[in-house]
Every structure is written in C-alpha cells, then in structure tokens.
Chain A
Amino acid sequence: METWEIEFEPHGESEQQDNGNGHDGINVGKYERIASAVGGGALVGYALKSRSKVGVALGLVGAGLLYRGATGQCEAYRALGVNTADSHEDVARDVHIEKSITIGVAPNELYKFWRNFENLPQFMEDLESVTQLDGNRSHWVAKGPAGAKVEWDAEIYNEQEGEFIAWRSLENADITNAGSVHFEEAPGGRGTYLKVVLNYNPPGGKAAQLFARLFGNEPGQLVDSNLRRLKQLLEAGEFPTTEGQSSGRETSTEENTKAEPLAGRAAAGASFGGERGTR
C-alpha cells in the first residue's frame, strides 16, 4: 500500500516563514491550479452527496483545494516551503516510474517491435497514436485528463540496437516527458527482461498526481498494465477480455464490467465479507 504517500520533504522550523512565496503570494503552478479547482470541486460534490464522515472529511479537503485553485495560494506549500508556480517545466522530473516484465520473445525482436513507435498504441491504452516524422522524431497523441488530448513531438536521443532506446519530448510539449526502454536477454531461454523508465511532468503537477492516485489511476499502474498488455499481445496473440460477455446485469456498460479496485482493502478483513465486493 504505497497509495497514500505524499512526498513532502521535512523542512526546518526556521525556513518556514521566508520560503515558498512567489509574487503576489502565488505559489501554485498554472496546471496545478486548474487540477486543484477541478478536483476540489469533485470532492465537494461527492461530500454533498455522500453525507458520511469520510465524505465530510473529503469535502473539507475539496474546499481547501478549490480555494487553492482559485487563488493560486497554498498554505501547506507555504508552510513547507514549496513553490510550483515558478518551477521550470522543460525538464521531465515530477513523476519517475520504473517497471519491469519478462516477455517470452528474444530481445532483438522486442527491440524491433518497440523501435517502430507506431506499434505502441496497440498496447498502450493511454496512447491514441504515434506518427513517425523521420528516423528519430515522432509525433505522439495521448488521452489526457477529462477527455482532453495531449500532444508532443519526441526525439530519440540515444539508442543501442537490441539493447535500449531513449527518447524525450521536444519544445512546446503538452507534457514534458522522457523515457527509455531496456531489453536484456533473460536467462534460460525465458525471453527478455524488459525495463521501462519514464519521467514526466503531468499537467497539474504533483496535485494532479495525488488526484490520480486518489481515484485509482496511479501512473505506475498504467505502465504496469500496458506492459502486461504488451506481453499478452506478443505471447498469447490477444488481450484477455470479458468486455461484451454475458451477465445478469441488465446493462453491460464499461463501468459495470470493472469491479472495484482492491487496493487498500486487501489488508482489511472487512473486504472479505462478501457483500462489500459488490455494487
């Protein structure tokens, strides 16, 4: 359960007063303000509907975020000496993800498949398309938050055939990002140890990341699930699915085909009560 870690560095008492204030007291970045406002609004809305103790607590958090979004000022950031309003956004560093998987395909074959970036949307659910512009440059279109599209151009800045590929976004990217993928021969004919390293600055910065985690869309999970899909595609030749199968539910909407995430409930015995697992 790493879901609730919030990465605030501890700071000394003396630093608290004079650090973390930008001009006009604004210390929250633009995208982060938008995300704060939207997320805060959602939480307040949820609180008004649910009326439980947890709902009220979330509602208070939501109200704080709304304020933060509207004014660009965050007391917590001020207290902690954090200022995201003035940060440089051209180096991908806010989110760092490393994930590995074993795929029963030789490193060279896997390298070739990946090197053609236009293959990536086949298994990356968040990617809409990748278009090769020339040997090293490509144009990426991904699904952003709330149905928005996010686009950027990327270049390969380092690679070794059959071993690794490293790329980064170019100027004017909607999301500043950089990544690399590494192909290592797995022992005993097991295929390839595939490792993906991803760094990016999501729109909305750390606050957006916090929301993503709150609502079960943690970026590391998405990479995990995308890598699993790549493995399924290359080994089994298809993605296992239950979407469109029979059930006693009258409608089989997207929402209905997904059970509640188990994260956070595994340790609580109550989740085994049976009824809890249903909607």
Chain B
Amino acid sequence: MKALCWYGKYDVRVQDVPDPKILNPRDAVLKITTTAICGSDLHLYDGYIPSMMKGDILGHEFMGEVVELGSAVTNLKVGDRVVVPFTIACGRCFFCKKGLWSACDNSNPNAGMAETLYGFSGSGLFGYSHMMGGYAGGQAEYVRVPFADVGPIKIPDGLNDEQVLFLSDIFPTGYMAAENCNIQRGDTVAVWGCGPVGQFAIKSAYLLGAERVIAIDDNPDRLRMAAEDGRAETLNFADEDIYEKLRSMTGGMGPDACIDAVGLEAHGHTLDAIYDRAKAAMFMATDRPHALRQAIYACRKGGTVSVPGVYGGFLDKFPFGSAFAKGLTFKMGQTHVHKYLPQLLELVQLGQIDPSFVITHRMSLEDAADAYSTFKQQNDGCIKVVLKPGLQARANGNGNGTGH
C-alpha cells in the first residue's frame, strides 16, 4: 500500500510499504477513506519530537471502513464505517475506567521509554514516535487499529467523512480544552493559536456558554476564520501588545480562562520568543513556550490556563511565580478522545456544529509530502489539509470545493 513515511526533519515521503495485518485478537484493519495532517504532525516534521525512526508511518487523524477484524472484536463488523481516536486505550485499566483514556496503562509497548522521560507513560498514540508506542499511523491506504473493540466509533448514514473525521482528534481536543476552562456565565476565554485546534476551542467555548472568545494569532487567514466561522474577537500579536489589549478588553481584569493551542513551537516577536528560538537551536532548551508564558501572565487572578498544545520536554523561564501569585489552575494533557466521541458525534448529528469548516485543502494521499510543506509554510491560506487515498492528484484544492 501507499503510506506517508517520516525520514527526518522536513523529509517525509509517500512510498510503497507492506499492508498492515492483524497482530492481536483485539485488532482491526481499516481501509482509509479520509485522513488529515494535524498541527502536531508538524512537530514531527520539524524534528522536535524524540524517538522517531526513519520509515515510520505518520498520521493520527483518520477514518475508514473495517476490512478485517481480530478474533476478540465482536462489536464491529467488516464494512462498518468508523472514526478512530488518535489515543490508543485498552478500556480496562484503572485510567480507562476513570475516563482518563489518554493515560491508559496498557497500550504503549514502549512504556519504559516514556517512563524514563516523564516518570510515567501515557497511552500509545498512532504515528507519534516510538516513545509513544511506535504505532504505524493512518496517512496510508490501510491502518491497523489496536483495541478496536473500544476505540472506533461507528458513523451513522447521512454524515459525510469531512463532517466526522475530526472526531479523531482536533474537535475533541478543542472541546476538552474549553471544558477544562470550567466556563461560567459571563466568562471571557482567550485562545492563543488559531490553527484547527484553536478553531475548535473557540467554537466549543461558545457551545459551553462563554460570553466572549478572544482569538490570538498572527496569520490573517486563521484570524479571519476565527472571526467569521468562530464569531471570535481577534487580536494579531504582530500588531498588538497582547497583555495590554486583553486587559483593556476585559475591564482591567484579564480573561477568565486562557487556552494555549500553540504548544512547543510558539513563535513571536517579543524578546523572550527570540531567546527561546536561539536556545532551542543550540539544544539548550527543548520547547519554546512563548504563548504559554503570555497566557499565564495575562490570565485573571484565580483563572484557568488550559493547554491542548503539545509540549515535549523542558521549559525555560516558566513564570511560575506569576501563576502562584494569581492562584491559577492548570489543566492540560492529551485528549481523552474516547470519552468525548458519543456526545460530540451527537452535536454533529444535531447540526450544532459542522467540523468541516476548518478544511482549506483537499489533496490526494499520493501528494501528502507536498501537503506537509504547504501546511508548514501556511501557503495558499492553508489551515487544514485532508488527504484522500486515490483522489485525483492535483495542485491544491480550493477552500470551499467539495473535493470529490
């Protein structure tokens, strides 16, 4: 089959690889119908995530049709159309039973590796480094899905792929980020980063009752989407002093909750951001937490900082004194996707949200390497790329086309 494989910094290639097969009784194999590139895939593309190996298949946002089932999977049948959570969870350990699916104890075959770095290991993830399990991802024609009896959710007829694909990651991730803000009546939520997760965090914050949402980025296309689709007020950090502006917009109080939907590769124009970049380039720090610092500093006293953005290692100049002085609450972590699937699918079915609004580019799987580059450069207004195996190869799709 064709699959998108990682070979190093800025080096991904579509190539022929062996088809996946059932390896365990609780496995399934899917034929991929639609897959996507996630913002967090760019951390791999940029070489920020350790323990990758040449030839690893990427991709953790995918859906498709069941073509083969392990002997222990009885709730699915061949031909079912399913969306798969990017977190892999056994469904039976202490954490899964508590709803902390992304903390599953039994799904990472390389848990010892993650333990060395983090103290304890989270769940396995698709296509996201060997420390996170080394599972082959879904930017491919077929994928093997472990613990398929608890992960995949069946999609009812009448919903197309693009409406439900993002249940695999970015919709629940944005939703959990907003839920973590514990939104109360009258609350203002500020969102750093208007990539796809930021867009879903904006919509989710309104769904959960936020009074106002303020979106922060420096990319005009993303800000336009946040304003037009998300109904957010927008700030361009290239033009504004974010702390001062947020303060003045909230009666001097600061936002009640701040969401960092940027993660470890924040860029910015302030001194600390330049310092971070220099330090990371010299391997003296691993992450560039500029957005997170700003969120902590700007948040109102007693407020919440919610972090769906991915961090991998060690943070420098982390303003813990500010966090302490203001009594902030921090909420973060990989998304407990399994927990959110039924309720978010229902929101889509009810028409309360159509997640396909974030898609700007539709490309064929065969063109996936170009898609990474387009997404990375944010060329051509690119916010979200979906890939379809076998889609007629062509330059770039267009923002509002159907893509079929």
Q: Which residues of A contact B (CB under 8 A)?
A: 102, 104, 190-191, 221, 224-225, 228, 231-232, 235-249, 252, 256-263, 265-266, 268-279
Q: Is B183's CB within 8 Å of the partner chain A?
A: no
A266–B118 Cα distance when bound, in Å, is: 9
> Shortest Cβ distance from B39 into chain A, in angstroms?
17
**SS class, residues of chain B in contact with chain A:** loop
Contact A247 B17 (CB under 8 A): yes
CA distance A231 to B133 in the complex (A): 17
Evaluate whether A240 and B146 lie within 8 angstroms (CB atoms) in the complex, with A249-B55, A259-B53 already known: yes
- The number of residues on chain B lying at the interface, defined by a beta carbon within 8 Å of a beta carbon of chain A, is 67
Determine if A246 and B3 form an interchain contact, defined as CB atoms under 8 angstroms apart.
Answer: yes
**B18 located at the interface, meaning its Cβ lies under 8 Å from any Cβ of chain A in the complex:** yes
B135 touches A270 (CB 8 A): no
Residue numbers in B under 8 Å from A252 (CB-CB): 18
Given contact pairs A237-B25, A247-B57, A278-B53, a sample of 15 additional A-B residue pairs in the complex whose CB atoms are under 8 Å apart: A221-B112, A231-B93, A232-B106, A236-B26, A236-B90, A236-B147, A238-B24, A240-B88, A241-B24, A244-B21, A248-B3, A248-B56, A259-B51, A269-B314, A277-B50
By the criterion CB–CB under 8 Å, are A259 and B90 in contact?
A: no
Q: Tell me the smallest distance from the CB of B147 to a CB of chain A, in Å.
A: 7
For A270, give the chain B residue with the smallest CB separation.
B283
Q: CB distance A104 to B136 under 8 Å?
A: no
B283 and A259 contact, CB distance less than 8 A: no
Q: Mask for B138-155, Cβ within 8 A of A = 1, else 0?
A: 001010101100000000
Q: Closest A-chain residue to B4, C-beta based?
A: A248
Q: Which of B21, B47, B285 contacts A275 (CB 8 A)?
A: B47
Which residues of B99-149 are within 8 A (CB) of A? 105-113, 116-117, 124, 129-131, 133-136, 140, 142, 144, 146-147
Q: Judge whether A262 and B131 touch: CB under 8 Å.
A: yes
B248 at interface, CB cutoff 8 A: no
Cα–Cα distance between A268 and B5 once the two chains are bound (Å): 27
Q: Shortest distance in angstroms between A105's beta carbon and chain B's nearest beta carbon?
A: 11
Interface residues in B1-33 (C-beta closer than 8 Å to A):
1, 3, 5-9, 13, 15, 17-21, 23-26
On chain B, the residues within 8 Å of A262 by CB distance are 50-51, 113, 116-117, 131
List, sorted by A's number, 24 A–B pairs whose CB atoms are closer than 8 Å: A104-B93, A224-B112, A232-B90, A236-B26, A236-B147, A237-B25, A237-B26, A239-B24, A241-B24, A245-B23, A246-B1, A246-B57, A247-B55, A248-B55, A248-B56, A259-B131, A261-B116, A266-B116, A269-B283, A275-B47, A277-B50, A277-B51, A278-B8, A278-B53
Cα–Cα, bound, A184→B149 (Å): 31
B contacts, CB < 8 Å to A: 1, 3, 5-9, 13, 15, 17-21, 23-26, 46-57, 72, 88, 90, 92-94, 105-113, 116-117, 124, 129-131, 133-136, 140, 142, 144, 146-147, 283-286, 312-314
The closest CB in chain B to the CB of A271 belongs to B50
Residue of B nearest to A1 (CB): B116
Residue in A104, A235, A240, A249 whose beta carbon sits within 8 Å of that of B54 in the complex: A249
Q: Smallest CB-CB separation from A243: which chain B residue?
A: B23
Contact A274 B24 (CB under 8 A): no
In the complex, which of the residues A236, A243, A269 has the most CB atoms of chain B within 10 Å of its own CB atom? Answer: A236
Nearest A residue (CB) for B19: A246
Chain B residue numbers with a CB within 8 Å of A276 are 50
Residue on B nearest A268 in the bound complex, by CB: B283
**Among A236, A259, A261, A266, which residue has its beta carbon within 8 angstroms of that of B92?**
A236
Closest A residue to B90 by CB, please name it: A236
Inter-subunit contact B46/A274 (CB<8 Å) = yes
Among A231, A242, A244, A270, residue most surrounded by chain B Cβ atoms (within 10 Å)? A242
Closest 7 CB pairs of A and B: A274-B47, A248-B5, A248-B55, A259-B130, A249-B55, A236-B90, A236-B106
Report how far A65 CA is from B124 CA in the complex, Å: 41
Whether B17 pairs with A248 at a CB distance below 8 angstroms is yes
- Docked-complex contact B8 and A242, CB < 8 angstroms: no
Bound complex: CA of A224 vs CA of B17, how far in Å?
34
Known: A240-B108, A275-B8. A245 touches B56 (CB 8 A): no
Would you give the shortest CB distance from A11 to chain B, in whole angstroms?
33
| Residue pair B5, A247 in contact (C-beta under 8 Å) | yes
**A264 shortest CB reach to chain B, Å:** 9
Q: Point out the residues of chain A lying under 8 angstroms from B90, CB to CB.
A: 232, 235-236, 240
* Contact between chains at A269 and B134 (CB < 8 Å): no
CA distance A239 to B280 in the complex (A): 37
A249 to B56, CA, bound (A): 8
Task: Find chain B residues with CB under 8 A from A260 CB.
Answer: 51
- A123 to chain B minimum Cβ distance, whole angstroms, is 12
Return the chain A residue nearest B14 by Cβ: A248
User: Is the Cβ of B94 less than 8 Å from the Cβ of A104?
Assistant: yes
CA distance A274 to B47 in the complex (A): 4
Chain B neighbourhood of A261, CB < 8 A: 113, 116
By a CB distance below 8 angstroms, the chain B residues around A102 are: 94
The answer for the CA separation of A247 and B6 in the assembled complex, in Å, is 10
Minimum Cβ distance to chain B for residue A22 (Å): 39
Task: Decide if A248 touches B51 in the complex (CB within 8 Å).
Answer: no
B130: which A residues are within 8 A, CB to CB? 258-259
Q: Are B106 and A259 in contact (CB under 8 A)?
A: no
- Complex interface: chain A residues within 8 A of B23 (CB): 241-245
Which A-chain residue is minimally distant from B15 (CB atoms)? Answer: A248
Residues of chain B with a CB closer than 8 A to A235's CB: 90, 92-93, 105-106
Given A260-B51, A262-B51, A262-B113, answer yes or no on A277-B136 (Cβ-Cβ < 8 Å): no
**With a CB–CB cut-off of 8 A, which chain A residues contact B112?**
221, 224-225, 228
Q: How far is the CA of A274 from the CA of B25 in the complex (A)?
A: 34
Inter-chain CA distance A166–B284, complex, in Å, is 49
Contact of B117 with A266 in the complex, beta carbons under 8 Å: yes
> For the complex, what is the distance from the CA of A277 to the CA of B135, rounded to whole Å?
16
Known: A245-B136, A246-B140, A257-B134. A265 touches B50 (CB 8 A): yes
Could you tell me the distance between the alpha carbons of A245 and B314 in the complex, rounded to whole angstroms? 32
Bound-state CA distance A48–B135 (Å) is 36
Contacts of B314 in A (CB 8 A): 269
A271 to B284, CA, bound (A): 10
Which residue of the partner chain, among B13, B17, B50, B146, contacts A246 with CB atoms under 8 Å? Answer: B17
